[in-house]
Structure 1
Amino acid sequence: MKVSGVFVGGLGSCLPETVRVDHAVQQNLIAAEAAERYGIQRVTDAKDVPAPELALHAARTALGRAGRTGHELSLVLYVSVWAQGPHGWCPQYYVQRGIEASAATAAEVRQSCMGMFSALELGASHLMADPGHSAALLTTGDNFNSPLLDRWQFSPHFVMGDAGSAVVLTRDQGFARLCSINAITLPEFEPMHRDSEPLFPPGSTLGKQLNFGDSKKKFLESRPAGDDGPLRIVAAQDEVVTRTLEESGIEMSDVTRVGYVNGSRERVEGRAMIPLGLPMSRSTWEQGRTVGHIGASDQIVALEHLIERGELTPGDHFMMLGVGPGLNIACAVFEILRSPGWAEVAA
């Protein structure tokens, strides 16, 4: 989707203290071989801070940086990956109440770690659809401390971290412009993250632990010899990236930095940077390895990190790229227009 007249007014994050991976190795939480192979140094641990509190903190920061109040919002989207609170409870309204955005439409986007991509597309569409819609808040928060998930071993190449992040999209001039966002889904891979588990009763209600490693392994073992699934994934990613670049009016050489899912170096390089034809120095892996896979916050926190440190300046382009259960692949491009006042290097 080519985006017109939608800007980033503010970004915010809430990153708890980190736990060193080598300390986790000493405690036998993760195998030394896996830790060395992944190259991840630290992961954030929110302890007993609720996920919606992380999201609310990030939302307030983003609104403050955008010079906005909750009263000016027409849309609040809350992206969730893991459990958020009491059964039957809706976290979006907790954030909505916390920022006093009673006039906004509020909804939850439950799309695993790809949720921020869909939130960006929905938020941009909302603003473009009606001149009366002036600003939208997209926020997410997750705390993976749970007996139903082992943050250190639940999925190969990924170690889970806790975080909150937020974006304020606006029709007014912001410090960055959302140029384009696109997604593609390969639903034939839906069983990859489900295994043979029945849909009812839900595993979470039975206390079943989530283990993507096991479900992925069984799914791949069930595929026929010579299956071209990996090639279809590569082709789909290439398609969505090419479309996003074309709609943004740029070439790959114009992309300054790429924010991908915070996985192992092997995963980031092999699934993102090599296919894009870009060196790892253009990725955000060095930052990602200090927080872990922080749910739907990976790319947004990476963008904030680069802006804060003056590593993205006017004229630069930031690409968000990701893949998640579904199998869903998405890409977005932002153009940096100016350095905001909260950056280390202000224009």
Structure 2
Amino acid sequence: MKASDVLISGLGSFLPDQVPIEWAVERELIDRTAAEEYGITSVTVAGEIPAPEMAVRACRQALERAGQKAESLSLLLYVSVWYQGPHGWCPQYYVQRHTGAGRATAAEIRQGCMGMFSALELAATHLMASDDHEAALVTSGDNFTSPLLERWRFSPHFVMGDAGSAVVLSRREGFARLKSINSVTLPEYEAMHRGPEPLYPPGATLPGKLDFGNSKHRWLEGPDRDPVGPLKLVAAQDELVSRTLDEAGITLDDVSRVAYANGSRERVEDRAMVPLGLPMSLSTWEQGRTVGHIGASDQVVALEQLLLDGSLRQGDHFLMLGVGPGLNIACAVIEITGTPHWSTAARAAASPATAS
């Protein structure tokens, strides 16, 4: 989808304390060989901070940075990956209550770690649908501290971190423009992340832990495996990226940085940078390896960090690429149109010159 005048006016995040991966190695929570191969140095661990509370803190920061009044928002989308709170409870209304966005239509999107892409696309279409829609808030929060999941080894190449993130989209003003965003689903891969577990009763009501490594292995060895292998996935991603770049009116030569899911160096290189024909130096892996795979927040937090330290400047293009269970692939292009006032570069420019 080619976006029309959809701007990013605010970004926010909440990142809890980092726990070194060596801490987990010493406690045999992850194999030392795997830890060394992954190259991940630490992950963020929230402890008892609820996921929606991390989202609220990120939202408040994003709204403040945007100078956006919460009561003027027309849409609030909450992206979740893991369990959020009490059974039957809706986290989006908690965020709505504690940010003051009471007039917005609020909904939850549960689409794995690529849910932020779907939320951004839905929010963009909402804003383009009517001139009365001034701004939308997209947010995510996840705390993977749970007896139902081993954050350090639930899936090969990924170690889970906790975080909250938020994006304010506006039709009025912003420092970046969402130029295009697309996704594609390969439903024939649906069983890859399901394994032999029955659909009923729900897994949350049964003993056991989430183990994507085991379910993927069973899928590869079972009758549901696609005989074409990964070629279909590679072809779908290539087509998706090409379409998104064409809609944005740029080529890969114009891409300044690329954000993929925060996995091992091998995973980021093999699944994103090599297919794109771009060097790892343009990826956000160096930042991602310090926080781990923070659910749906990987790409948004990477964008915020690059703007904070001045690595992205006016005229640069930021490519977001993601994949999630389903199997879903998504891509987006964002153009930096100005320097946000909260970035290091903006603060440095505002400071008086120091006499030598």
Correspondence for 2:149: 149
Work out whether residues 188 and 226 of structure 2, in 8 Å CA contact, stay in contact via their aligned partners in 1. Answer: no
Q: Deviations over 1:135-160 (max 9, x none)?
A: 00000000000000000010000000
Given the alignment of the two structures, is residue 103 of structure 1 paired with residue 107 of structure 2, yes or no?
A: no
Letter of the structure 1 residue corresponding to residue 54 of structure 2: L
In 1: Cα distance, 2:135 partner to 2:227 partner: 46
Work out whether residues 177 and 337 of structure 2, in 8 Å CA contact, stay in contact via their aligned partners in 1. Answer: yes
Secondary structure of the residue that 2:345 maps to in structure 1? Answer: coil
Secondary structure of the residue that 2:230 maps to in structure 1? Answer: helix
Correspondence for 2:329: 329
In 2: Cα distance, 1:18 partner to 1:226 partner: 39
In 1: Cα distance, 2:145 partner to 2:236 partner: 34
Q: Structure 1: which 4+ aligned runs deviate by more than 6 Å?
A: none
> Aligned runs of 1:75-224 on 2, under 5 Å?
75-222=75-222
Secondary structure of the residue that 2:94 maps to in structure 1? Answer: helix
In 1: Cα distance, 2:58 partner to 2:257 partner: 23
Q: Evaluate the alpha carbon distance shift between residue 226 and residue 153 of structure 1 in structure 2; reply closer, same or farther with a 3 A threshold.
A: closer
Letter of the structure 1 residue corresponding to residue 93 of structure 2: Y
In 1: Cα distance, 2:63 partner to 2:141 partner: 16
Letter of the structure 1 residue corresponding to residue 50 of structure 2: P
Q: Deviations over 1:6-27 (max 9, x none)?
A: 0000000000001000111011
In 1: Cα distance, 2:145 partner to 2:65 partner: 30
Correspondence for 2:341: 341
In 1: Cα distance, 2:225 partner to 2:24 partner: 38
Q: Evaluate the alpha carbon distance shift between residue 221 and residue 65 of structure 1 in structure 2; reply closer, same or farther with a 3 A threshold.
A: same
In 1: Cα distance, 2:114 partner to 2:74 partner: 23
In 2: Cα distance, 1:207 partner to 1:56 partner: 31
Query: Larger deviation: 205-214 or 7-16?
Result: 205-214
Letter of the structure 2 residue corresponding to residue 318 of structure 1: F
In 1: Cα distance, 2:104 partner to 2:24 partner: 43
Query: Larger deviation: 205-214 or 61-70?
Result: 205-214
Work out whether residues 69 and 99 of structure 1, in 8 Å CA contact, stay in contact via their aligned partners in 2. Answer: no
Give the unaligned 5+ runs of structure 2: 350-356
Deviation at 1:206, TM superposition (A): 1.3
Q: Evaluate the alpha carbon distance shift between residue 155 and residue 104 of structure 1 in structure 2; reply closer, same or farther with a 3 A threshold.
A: same
Give the unaligned 5+ runs of structure 1: none
In 2: Cα distance, 1:171 partner to 1:13 partner: 22
User: How many residues align structurally?
Assistant: 347
Deviation at 1:223, TM superposition (A): 5.2
Deviation at 1:227, TM superposition (A): 2.2
Letter of the structure 2 residue corresponding to residue 316 of structure 1: D
Deviation at 1:229, TM superposition (A): 2.5
Work out whether residues 179 and 333 of structure 1, in 8 Å CA contact, stay in contact via their aligned partners in 2. Answer: yes
Correspondence for 1:59: 59
> Aligned runs of 1:226-305 on 2, under 5 Å?
227-305=227-305
RMSD, aligned α-carbons:
1.1
In 2: Cα distance, 1:81 partner to 1:10 partner: 23
TM (norm. structure 1) is: 0.99
Deviation at 1:173, TM superposition (A): 2.0
Query: Larger deviation: 217-226 or 227-236?
Result: 217-226
In 2: Cα distance, 1:226 partner to 1:125 partner: 34
Q: How high is the sequence identity, in percent, across the aligned residues?
A: 67
In 1: Cα distance, 2:183 partner to 2:135 partner: 23
TM (norm. structure 2) is: 0.96
Letter of the structure 1 residue corresponding to residue 97 of structure 2: R
Q: Evaluate the alpha carbon distance shift between residue 226 and residue 336 of structure 1 in structure 2; reply closer, same or farther with a 3 A threshold.
A: closer
